Amino acid sequence: MKLREWLSELKYELVQGSLDLEVGEVVYDSRKAAPECVFVCMRGANVDSHRFIPDVIKKGCQVIVCEEKPEVPEDVTVLLVEDGRDALAHLSAARFGYPARKMTTIGVTGTKGKTTTTYMIKQILEACGQKTGLIGTNGIVIGDTHTPTENTTPESYILQKSFAEMVDAGCRYMVMEVSSQSYKMRRVNGIHYDYAIFMNIANDHIGPNEHADFAEYIGFKKCLLKNSDIALVNRDDEHFDEIVEGATAQIVTFSTEGEGDFSADDIRYIREPDFVGVDFAMHDHRPGAPVPENRLRVSVPGRFNVTNALAAAAVCSWFDLPAEKVSHALEHLKITGRMEIVYKSKLCTVIVDYAHNGVSMETLLKTLRDYNPGRLVCVFGCGGNRARDRRFTMGEIGGRYADLNIITADNSRFEKVEDIMADIKTGMAKSNGTYIEIPDRREAIRYSLEHAEEGDIIAVIGKGHEDYQEINGVKHHFLDREEVERAVKELGL
């Protein structure tokens, strides 16, 4: 293609060169530069890729998109932009032919519940015969292909490439988690969603390399409501008025506590030998609603999963799907690492969950209390090289809600496990919690099962879907679900 064909939605200044050059690829990693590539310079926390301009020119790259004018040969085309990350987002969309516009797009944001809700939507749509792509914390899913990602919302080029692969695979729908960081880092610039869901917001993701304060955090979260047509917003969130302020999307509300366009009531918590979850009545209060009321049974525990399921079923109500298939999909959900029931028997139930901060941990433990366990046992640690406050908070919450806490390792990264555990114990002392320390996570999981008592619910939290444990910068294979299964087999349970 000609370079000018990629520039219709990009603000730029042509400093030198021609817009009629043949181009075939967009790159932002200088190691991938080649002839007919457009190299986009970006400033990162550790690396400013402007310094690689001489390298990419030596490799034959004839187009440079940058934030400051470089000294380059006259035959090199230079486009000056205000923000390299924004430029990468728009160029990537153009390079792949704006693929998101060829599907019905659904973006989901929130401090918690994003992953679960996106998987609920995907499984509902696919149960109704609608091929659906998914992007989020658990990776990129297109048909039977699953690709891990480093971020909840990947870099803009990877997003657009994935959208194009979804279109090629015949996906009619695309559902994705939209993190606040993705707006801060301009990864989702230029993407307009047909539908958006705003689950909730709480005081989290604030600190180094995240957000400066809560105002910045909620400000970036709210961007989704300015880049969508219809936005479903949780009416129960205490920040509701601030969330919807300035929104340009049509606002539709959902609620499990009061009045909303969609609501849930008659909530029942079910713990049976072959099913642990929730059951509730969903109401669609919109005039002329196709299915004003539907009874839903959801195979993941907890009241917050009523909220997640309500939001998922609500957005799917626009797609004219059979009510019985929506119900069937929710009753047979499988979501890796999100309230995932990995073992159940008359003795105990073991749940693996990604809860790795105070907000999600408190929600999870309070939820499991609703199922009246004989004991609630929590196996957890905390990630290294992250805000220390998270450790104190998780320790205090564990002490408040669990009958027994087994403090262990998570991803210690470059910190000592013992130092992290000491911070957790400091927090636990505030609530006088009962705990034991087992630094080895495999041994901690085995201990919880070996000493299980009848009626126990054991929550192994913090890592969820993650299939590794990071120690001193090295990732070793480790999956909580596999460790539970190993312990069950070894103990003959």
Residue 298, classified by CB atoms within 10 Å of its CB into exposed (0-12), middle (13-18) or buried (19+), is buried
Residue at a domain's end among 27, 61, 95: 95
Q: Contact at 8 Å (CB) between 440 and 408?
A: yes
My answer on whether 146 and 15 are in the same domain is no
Q: What is the dihedral angle through the alpha carbons of 236, 242, 245, 248, rounded to the nearest 10 degrees? A: -60
Residue at a domain's end among 331, 365, 381: 331
Residue 216 is part of a domain; what is its CATH number?
Answer: 3.40.1190.10
d(CA 60, CA 315): 48
Residue with tokens 């390299």: 84
My answer on whether 441 and 296 are in the same domain is no
My answer on whether 346 and 325 are in the same domain is no
Please give the span between the terminal C-alpha atoms of the chain, in angstroms, as a whole number: 62
My answer on whether 91 and 136 are in the same domain is no
Angle, helix 480-491 to helix 441-450, in steps of 10 degrees: 50
My answer on whether 485 and 344 are in the same domain is yes
Containing structural domain, residue 81: 3-95
My answer on whether 168 and 193 are in the same domain is yes
Domain count, the chain: 3
My answer on whether 356 and 461 are in the same domain is yes
My answer on whether 154 and 253 are in the same domain is yes
My answer on whether 44 and 156 are in the same domain is no
My answer on whether 73 and 115 are in the same domain is no
Residue 87 is part of a domain; what is its CATH number?
Answer: 3.40.1390.10
Question: What percent of the chain has a predicted confidence (pLDDT) above 70?
Answer: 98
Question: What percent of the chain has a predicted confidence (pLDDT) above 90?
Answer: 86
- CA distances 400 to 369, 373, 377, 429, 437, Å, are 12, 15, 12, 10, 17
Tell me, what amino acid is at 364?
L
Residue at a domain's end among 73, 95, 117: 95
My answer on whether 451 and 367 are in the same domain is yes
Q: Please state, rounded to an integer, the average pLDDT across all residues of the chain.
A: 94
Q: For 27-78, write each residue's pLDDT tens digit.
A: 999 999 999 999 999 998 788 999 999 999 999 999 999 999 999 999 999 9
pLDDT of residue 56: 97
Q: For 206-246, write each residue's pLDDT tens digit.
A: 666 676 688 889 999 999 999 999 999 999 999 999 999 99
Low-confidence residues in the chain, pLDDT < 70: 203-209, 211-212
Q: For 304-335, write each residue's pLDDT tens digit.
A: 899 999 999 999 999 999 999 999 999 999 88
pLDDT of residue 273: 74
My answer on whether 201 and 282 are in the same domain is yes
Contacts from 487-493 at CB under 8 Å and sequence distance 24+?
Answer: 487/445, 487/446, 487/449, 487/450, 488/343, 488/449, 490/446, 491/446, 491/449, 491/450, 493/343, 493/345, 493/347, 493/449
pLDDT of residue 419: 97
Count of beta carbons in the 10 Å neighbourhood of residue 35: 12
pTM score of the predicted model: 0.85
